[in-house]
Amino acid sequence: MKEGILKKTYTIFFLVLGNFLTAYATIHFLLPAKISPGGVSGVATIVFHLFKISPVITTAVINIPLILISMKMFGKRYGYKTILSIGLLIFFTYILIKILGTEGLLHENGETGDLMLPVIYGGIISGIGVGLVIKVGGSTGGTVIIASIINKLFRISIGNSLALADLMVVLAAAFSMGVEIALYSIICLFITGRVVNVITEGESYAKMVYIISDKYLDIKKVIITDMELGGTLIKASGMFTDDEKKMIITVVHNRKLSELKSYIKEIDKEAFVIITEADQVLGEGFIE
């Protein structure tokens, strides 16, 4: 029981810290510089500079319907962590704007100056924030939910769906605020993604996962159908009992590892799982 309380405290702490850092990076680095690196924060930045509508309103108007749609489509997959995370992001965005305004730390009197500094620092801080949220199984919503919906409806992979959604935001920035802003936004998007990967799973981009479970057929179905991954089934036996088991071996990108672990825990809490680094992966779905 004590372990469960500590785990929940750990989860909530990093959801709070992660969303605070994400909101802080947006309000004090990216928003004043008009940088729109995908996601709801990118849309909020565009809307703010075009129509002077608060990022709080834009974030809420986009995310709340997406939460309702995703809960209808995916059920408890989008549970309290996602709802709490999005609520915290909206709350911290509101508080930071009220207390500190929207001029930013690197801007004076509305002058943007050198855009590379807000791109770098905004990208790093935002990446740390989003990475902490993902690490404890949360989501900052927005294009992540949109990517999941696209994946469900059109069977386009999560990674490609997310890239498509973020690309649309960057293109909108190019049309509304200029090509230069869009190019800086792409740099920021790259920095954020890189930092997220390092925070969530270290330097490698993929993991090898070994799963031993009596419910291996259910886990296999989720891996193939819901996550669109492959794998290998091999026979194994326990050293003490000699009972025959089936072991699943699969390779998963870092960004999807948390999702896989959540599925496994949901299906079989007693499953035995080993996760190792995959320094190099060749084949379909992975870079050479």
Q: How many CA atoms lie within 13 A of 208 on its CB side?
A: 10
Mean pLDDT of 70-90: 78
pLDDT for residue 256: 79
The band of 76, judged by pLDDT with boundaries at 50, 70 and 90, is low
Residue 274: CB atoms within 10 A of its CB come to 11
Strand ranges inside 224-265, DSSP E: 232-237, 244-253
pLDDT in tens, 12-62: 999 999 999 999 999 989 999 999 988 899 999 999 999 999 999 999 999
**Predicted model pTM:** 0.75
Decide if pLDDT at 202 tops 70: no
Q: Is 3.30.70.120 the CATH number for 206-277? A: yes
Contacts of residue 69, defined as CB under 8 A and 6 or more positions apart, other chains included, come to 145, 149
Alpha-helix residue ranges (DSSP H) falling in the chain: 2-25, 31-33, 39-51, 55-74, 80-100, 116-135, 143-154, 158-177, 179-201, 216-221, 254-267
The band of 94, judged by pLDDT with boundaries at 50, 70 and 90, is very high
Give the pair of three-digit tokens for residue 80: 């309290």
The band of 164, judged by pLDDT with boundaries at 50, 70 and 90, is confident
pLDDT in tens, 103-145: 876 655 445 567 899 999 999 999 999 889 878 877 787 877 7
Mean pLDDT of 202-216: 83
Q: Position of tokens 């199984």?
A: 137
pLDDT for residue 109: 44
pLDDT for residue 225: 86
pLDDT for residue 120: 94
The band of 3, judged by pLDDT with boundaries at 50, 70 and 90, is low
Share of the chain above pLDDT 90, in %: 44
DSSP 50-101: HH---HHHHHHHHHHHHHHHHHHHHGGGS-HHHHHHHHHHHHHHHHHHHHH-
Kindly report, as residue ranges, where domains of CATH 3.30.70.120 are found in the chain: 206-277
